Amino acid sequence: MNANCPTAAIIATNPMLNRFLVFTVDAQQYALRLESVQRVVRMVEITPLPKAPDIVLGVINLAGSVTPVLSPRRRLGLPEKEIGLDANLIIASTATRRVALAVDSVTKLEERLSEEIVEAETVAPGTRFTTSIVNLEDGILFIHDLDRFLSGEEETQLNDLLTQ
């Protein structure tokens, strides 16, 4: 974005503006808050991690660091699909670790004012992974919280496996 553009100044100084990285899984749009995203990379070979929680596809070597690859597809109860080389990995941070999310595609950055964002609990009580929902021109955007993506038990199991 051009810093000399008046819109850039508004965006940079507007604390009510929320930024999201939008991705797709089975043609449905999901998002992560941009501040939790480190980068997006093309799919690479994933090494299986025996005895890992079901949501963990395996691990990758990311700049010398073992990084678990999580499956939004499995977490959301969607049918399995072979992950092709055209898929993406979103490298992001939780409160406790760096993870990679295997997604079909990364489509765009979305910016929304706070008043455009609806808390998921008000629309669908009991949603665990979706924290917010935004109505877009081309559908609904489900915003996920990576800190809720792994259960406490899954987090402990993954910690044990990665520290052996």
Q: Among residues of the chain, what percentage have pLDDT more than 70?
A: 90
Q: Is residue 1 part of a domain?
A: no
Beta-strand pair 139-144/28-33: parallel
Q: Is residue 39 part of a domain?
A: yes
Instruction: Show the CA angle centred on residue 51, arms to residues 71 and 130, nearest 5°.
Output: 30
Q: Is residue 12 part of a domain?
A: no
Q: What is the pLDDT of residues 9-18, one digit of tens each?
A: 444 555 678 9
Residue 131 sits in which domain range? 18-162
Q: What is the pLDDT of residues 36-45, one digit of tens each?
A: 999 999 999 9
Q: Is residue 11 part of a domain?
A: no
Number of domains composing the chain: 1
CATH for 47: 2.40.50.180
Q: Is 115 helix (H, G, I), strand (E, B) or coil?
A: helix
Position 16 scores a pLDDT of 78
Tell whether the model's pLDDT for residue 4 goes beyond 50. Answer: no
Q: Among residues of the chain, what percentage have pLDDT more than 90?
A: 57
Q: Is residue 5 part of a domain?
A: no
Q: What is the pLDDT of residues 124-146, one digit of tens each?
A: 776 777 888 898 888 889 999 88
Q: Is residue 10 part of a domain?
A: no
pTM: 0.85
